[in-house]
Chains A and B, each alone.
Chain A
């Protein structure tokens, strides 16, 4: 399966997909960390993908989303934004509201964090 198929699968198949540099256990970039922390504060069930193992992942992702930078956050397949937007939405409470609308009121109950590797 190609990267672009795998990326689409994660975007469409995850409640909250976070494409980041590093993993939640070992974040490799300050902005990825800002996005991750904001999502954690909102209690989002994050599925994280590390884009660093292969530069092609990042290229494919950008051609799919049309967003030039990392991190990128998707909720139910829809691009929410990068670190600045996610942080801003979290602070204003809109992120929680969006998660509630998209995932249901009890979205924070699961509170699981998964990491998906695209390289095999």
Chain B
């Protein structure tokens, strides 16, 4: 509670807090951390490759939020659930790592109603949906030949 004198300045005033949060990466840069539920062995191997010798530690001010960090675990889950997918995409809609657009087109979805198709996607992503990683999910599904 303020007694007297000046209040310290607020860097962004009373605005959306997300802006103040943006330069801070969600995971440490040194090793890419993929949640356990999202890491079958093949994807771990890829992650290790991606963080090879050229991986540099995070530097404040220069580093940008990497949207792939948040979408890759979801993509891995969907690839596991739809190995036959002809189109599979996960987009971080806001850059905040919790609003996603998912696109899946797979022969295994052919003939199912949209409700059933979306249910398959919800099932594949049930872990990140349950633990709150996904705050909002938009789904676009199609059957394929």
Contacts and interface: CB of A to CB of B under 8 A. Distances in A.
Interface of A: 31, 66-69, 79-85, 88-89
B115 interface: yes
Contact of B115 (A69, A81, A83): A81
Interface string B114-142: 11001100100010010000001111100
A88 B113 CA distance: 13
Contacts of A69: 122, 137
A88 B140 CA distance: 9
Nearest to A82: B118
B119 A66 contact: yes
Contacts of A89: 114
B136 A31 contact: yes
Contacts of B138: 83-84
A84 B139 contact: yes
A88 B122 contact: no
A46 B122 CA distance: 26
B129 A84 contact: no
Contacts of B126: 68
A62 to B, nearest CB: 11
A84 B93 CA distance: 15
Most chain B beta-carbon contacts within 10 A, residue among A80, A83, A84, A88? A84
A68 B122 contact: yes
A83 B25 CA distance: 31
B118 A80 contact: no
**3 interchain residue pairs of minimum CB distance:** A85-B114, A81-B115, A84-B139
25 contacts: A31-B136, A66-B119, A67-B115, A67-B119, A67-B122, A68-B126, A68-B129, A69-B122, A69-B137, A79-B115, A80-B115, A81-B114, A81-B115, A81-B118, A83-B138, A84-B118, A84-B138, A84-B139, A84-B140, A85-B114, A85-B115, A85-B118, A88-B114, A88-B140, A89-B114
A66 B122 CA distance: 10
A81 B138 CA distance: 12
B99 to A, nearest CB: 10
A68 B119 CA distance: 9
Contacts of A84: 118, 138-140
Contacts of A31: 136
Given A66-B119, A68-B129, A88-B114, 10 more contacts: A67-B115, A67-B122, A68-B122, A69-B122, A81-B115, A84-B118, A84-B138, A84-B139, A84-B140, A85-B114
